[in-house]
Amino acid sequence: MSAVGDFLFLVLTSLVPILATAAGGMFADRARAPNIALDGCMLVASLTAVVVGTVTGNPWLGLLAAIVAGAAYSAVLAFAAFALHCDLIIAGIAANLLATGLTLLIVQHGLHSAGTYAPFGTALIPRVPAGPLQDVPILGRAVGGQSALLYVAVIATIVAAIVMNLTRFGAHIKAVGESEEAALAVGIRPVLIRTIAVLLSGAFAGIGGGYLSLSSVATFNSDLTGGLGFIAFAAVIFGRATPLGITFASLLFAVATSVAIYLQGSGANIQQLVQCLPYVVTVVALAIQAVSRSRRQRFDVSDTNYVPAIIPRG
């Protein structure tokens, strides 16, 4: 029993950055401004988190700074897309590359580290004991001692779901995504809504990025995300940009990540091979989704259904 509990603990640990980031990516995707620079936002945010957390001595200030940094960095993407009129996808890829360069430059030059910035004595986000749940067989082990950011991520997802489905702003986002002309006709400003959606996605990615550098060990290097931002982006697409969908998709990818970590610990000779499991699962998930979509569309002649995927124009 305890093995199951430990495995679930691992799943929840891997879930936090994916879920938090995907919840924000949902806004951008729904507004048809998919933010493929989530990975870059996470990277910039996690560097900010560890630096601010170390300087102030307060990890929560570090997290706050990470959220601001994530939003600020996604402003680069919004500027490129809406002010420079770049293609959003290419601009997103550029923003990811820029984030790698920027963080590397800061780590190497500003912080005088060769590649990995590991400050001494940084306070981490506190871990929450299971409390009354402690004696429940599996659940106790799974949630006992999780980072407080797990709860932050869950609350953030719930808030995102409420904003998306129950508020005026959420309706505006959906309107802009589904029909720009119709939204314009009723007086919604698509560029404004899209900019806010992109900034929001950056802020949520900031939570995910902050988790990476402030939850278990306070270190940073420019490979820290390891493509987690892209996996979160894939979770948005696989979850059709709905709150429940992205939660399940994030869980799936978190399970894949945990299996990889678990197998690595088992000491088999295939350690490097299992490392790629989350990426393989992501590709398989996207493929399954595409296959089922093409099955459905054989009988569907209407062109109105919402397509959350990004299709390169041109």
Partner 1 sequence: MTQPAAPVEATTTGRKPGDWLRAPGWRLLPMGLLQSIVAVVIGIVICLVIIFLIADDPLTAFRAFVLGTFSTTYAFGSMLAVATVLVLTALAAAVSFRAGAFNIGTEGQLVLGGLAAAVVAQNTGMGGIGQAAALIASALVGALWVAIPAWLRVRYRTNEILTTLMFNYIAADLALFLVNAYFRDPTSGAVETPPLDPTLWLPRLLRTSAANVGLLLVIGLAMGLWLLFERTRTGKRMEAAGLQPAFAEYLGIRSGSHLLLSLLGSGVLAGLAGGIAVLGITHAYTTGFSPQYGFLGITVALIGRLKPFGILLAALLYSSLITGATVMQSATDVPFSLVFILQGVLILLITSRRGGVA
- Give the interface with partner 1 as residue ranges (CB under 8 A): 36, 80, 83-87, 89-91, 93-102, 104-105, 108-110, 226-227, 230, 233-234, 237, 269-273, 275-276, 279-280, 282-283, 286-287, 289-291, 293-294, 309-314
Surface-to-core class of residue 253, CB atoms within 10 Å of its CB (0-12 exposed, 13-18 middle, 19+ buried):
buried
Nearest to 239 by CA among 42, 19, 32, 70: 19
Closest approach of partner 1 to the CB of residue 142, in Å: 28
Place of tokens 């259904």: 305
In the complex with partner 1, the residue whose CB is nearer, 26 or 80, is 80
CA distance 87 to 91: 6
In the complex with partner 1, the residue whose CB is nearer, 88 or 156, is 88
Q: Would you say 26 and 243 are in contact if contact means Cβ atoms under 8 Å apart?
A: yes
In the complex with partner 1, the residue whose CB is nearer, 104 or 139, is 104
In the complex with partner 1, the residue whose CB is nearer, 211 or 233, is 233
Closest approach of partner 1 to the CB of residue 81, in Å: 10
- Hey, what are 145's tokens? 């001692």
In the complex with partner 1, the residue whose CB is nearer, 43 or 65, is 43
In the complex with partner 1, the residue whose CB is nearer, 186 or 311, is 311
Place of tokens 């982006």: 233
Closest approach of partner 1 to the CB of residue 165, in Å: 25
In the complex with partner 1, the residue whose CB is nearer, 12 or 76, is 76
Closest approach of partner 1 to the CB of residue 49, in Å: 20
Q: Please spell the DSSP secondary structure of 174-200, one letter per residue.
A: HHHHH-HHHHHHTT--HHHHHHHHHHH
> CA separation (Å) from 240 to 131, 186, 276, 308?
36, 26, 24, 6
Q: What's the maximum distance between 2 C-alpha atoms anywhere in the chain?
A: 61
Closest approach of partner 1 to the CB of residue 93, in Å: 7
| Segment (H or E) for 146 | strand 146-147
Expressed in angstroms, the distance from the first to the final Cα of the chain is 54
265: Cβ contacts below 8 Å, ≥ 6 apart: none
* Three-class SS state of 85: coil
Nearest to 39 by CA among 230, 198, 180, 184: 230
In the complex with partner 1, the residue whose CB is nearer, 146 or 289, is 289
Place of tokens 């808030």: 159
Closest approach of partner 1 to the CB of residue 235, in Å: 11
In the complex with partner 1, the residue whose CB is nearer, 142 or 199, is 199
Nearest to 49 by CA among 232, 203, 235, 257: 203
Closest approach of partner 1 to the CB of residue 17, in Å: 16
Sign, Cα dihedral of 300, 301, 304, 306: positive
Closest approach of partner 1 to the CB of residue 12, in Å: 23
Closest approach of partner 1 to the CB of residue 193, in Å: 16
